[in-house]
Structures are given as structure tokens and as C-alpha cells.
Amino acid sequence: MHGTEAISAWVQRWSHLVPPGGSVLDVACGHGRHLRWFAQRGHRVTGVDRSPEAIAAVASWGRAVQADIENGPWPFEGERFDLVLVTNYLWRPLLPVIVQSVAEGGVLLYETFAAGNESVGKPSRPDFLLQPGELLRASEGLQVVAYEDGFCDRPERFVQRLAAVRKPTGTPVSPPRFPLDATG
């Protein structure tokens, strides 16, 4: 069941970029594997999903919003989050809104299926598979800290993964330092 698997290794690896106690939005959160993980670490979490069962499952960890984000209005208009997290979900019309929802100094962590996945399983429809470089193009304006586009063998799948930060205004001329590992 979506949302009950172990936390994504990508999300875990880059979670140190999120400010302590920061606000987290999990888009298409499912049953909340990432919401639970961030809530247990002291973050203020918000999950959105269209499934009433999923929202019921995550309501005890923080704000839970049931919304059809593909056919209805974006329920977080004007809100910004220290982390916007998306895993195993793609709705291209929302990509600009998702990027806009990242607060100054905040992080976008995105991991989902990519072109090539049709050769190993589902999803296989092009509508649900990122094209080469698509996440990079969608996140223009953010500082990309890490990006991967390739094949994973456990389980077999093609994915794109992105960790990007919205630089705070007034960032010094010297390059910001975003540690490539949690130990920094």
C-alpha cells in the first residue's frame, strides 16, 4: 500500500537540509511514511492526498488535508514550506506550484519514476514518467544540490531524484554550503 513502505533512502539522505523544526508538506502523501518520519524528528508536518483513508491514517501526525490537487484548487495558496516533498507522484501542471511552495531557505525533495520504467513495470504511461532532465528544468530558480536520473535494481525501476534549495535573499556572494551528507 502506497505510503506504508520504508522511508525513501533519498529523502533520508537529504533531510538534513531541512531547518530544525521546519514545516514539511508531503504532496500525495499516501499513508504517511515520510510524514511520520519527519514528525518524529520535530517537524511540523502537513500531508495532502485525495484518499480519505490516507488522510485518516496521517491525521495524528499533523495537518492532514484531503484534496484532489489534480482537478481542484491548490489548497495551500500563498503558503510556503521549509520542505516540499514529493515521492512516486507526477502531475505536470502542479510542478510550478510545487516549486513556488518552497520557502526561502527551504528544500524541494522530489523522487519519482522516469522514462525507461515502462521496460521494467508500472507505471508505464508517459504521463507518469519524467523525461530526461525534466526535474532540473522544473526546478529552475532553485539551487540544485543533488540530482540523479537512472536505473535502480531493488526494486527494478527508473527514477529521477532531486534535492534543491531556495536560497535566502541576501545570500552572501560566496557560494552557500549545502553539505552532501548529514555529517556535514
pLDDT tens digits, one per residue of 146-162: 999 878 877 888 888 99
pLDDT reading at 7 higher than 80: yes
Write the pLDDT tens digit of every residue in 112-133.
877 776 777 887 788 887 789 9
pLDDT of residue 184: 47
Write out pLDDT tens, residues 85-121: 999 998 999 999 999 999 999 999 999 877 776 777 8
Residue range 9-165, CATH number: 3.40.50.150
Q: What is the DSSP letter of 90?
A: -
> What Å distances lie between residue 120 and 2, 65, 153, 159, CA to CA?
19, 33, 10, 12
**What pTM did the predictor assign?**
0.89
Mean residue pLDDT across the chain? 89
* 149 vs 131: CA distance, rounded Å: 9
Domain chopping of the chain, boundaries: 9-165
